Amino acid sequence: MTDIARRAGVTKGAVSFALNGKRGVSEHTRKRVLAIAEELGWQPNSAARALSDGRAGSYGLVVDRPARILGIEPFFMSLISGMQTELSGKGVALLFTVAEDAAAQIATHREWWARRRVDGVFLVDVRFDDPRIADLEELGLPAVVIGPPAGSGGLPAVWSDEGSAVRLALSHFAELGHRNVARVAGPAGFVHTQLRGDAFRTVAAELGLRTTTIEADYTGEQGAAATRELLERPDRPTAVLYDNDVMAVSGLSAAHHLGVRVPEEISMVAWDDSALCELIRPGLTALRRDIADYGARAARLLGEVVAGNEVEDLQVAEMSLVERGSTAAAPSDG
């Protein structure tokens, strides 16, 4: 600040006003100070800023999925990309880490808040009666849930309609003549998994479809194992909906190894569309939403919460179905 003040011919107080966007200096002086600061490569000191205005200048995200899964699952990479794009434009950092369970996440949230390392946090993979929500509300740590409002407690949520997406997929199967369908689901404890399951049963009943559901964990290994189990049944399904793209890709590979033709003998749909769905052969029909925009909207909403503004739950655009080579008319005996 001393260097900038000397170069600009103003006081350090004037430099402080200009750099922090406060009143007390003319617009001409503000622009001159900012130009000199940029020329000198000045960056705000986060610790000093936290002392002066109580802000850390960063938001936090803790995920309890194994790091090896996060490294290959496009959903989280796209979500984080959207968050980061929005936050970086506002000079806010994203503090990201992996924890082994809810207790570890709570401990991380408490440490971050005690040290004022974050101004707010994102919450993902919410469960019913999630202990993290009650703890965040008790702490007073600003937070946004990325998931259905049904499990968000008193926290604001950014969400997409699970039920309408399930209806898209099952209606597609039904239009192709499929009557025996299956779902390879994610972990049963997640709110979004249960909502998808409720919709799967309801819509299937409306369409007159027989259903089977196998729980998995979003990994390729379990996606393949679930697919093999389905295909080895005497009354095997002719269509399968997978709760993520990684399990769907592995399921397609498992079918190939068993000599089951896709889509001639079995059709497959993935939930969420990604480059993986396009690269494999045949390409996977998939439910698509703009995940990066999902993350950006969550970041904007958290910014409003941190600023102390009143906010409401935010529903993102509904999913669409991208048809590729993995779905076709049901076999004549299906």
pLDDT of 148 over the 50 cut = yes
Tokens 């205005």 belong to residue:
53
pTM above 0.75, yes or no: yes
pLDDT tens-digit readout, 55-83:
789 999 999 876 667 767 789 999 999 99
Tell me the average pLDDT across 113-131: 94
Gap between the Cα atoms of 11 and 257, Å rounded = 74
pLDDT tens-digit readout, 204-252:
999 999 999 999 999 999 999 999 999 999 999 999 999 999 999 999 9
First to last CA, the chain: 75
Neighbouring CB atoms inside 10 A of 32's CB total: 19
pLDDT tens-digit readout, 272-292:
999 999 999 999 999 999 999
Is the CB of residue 264 less than 8 Å from the CB of residue 328?
yes
Q: How many helices (H) and strands (E) does the chain have?
A: 14, 12
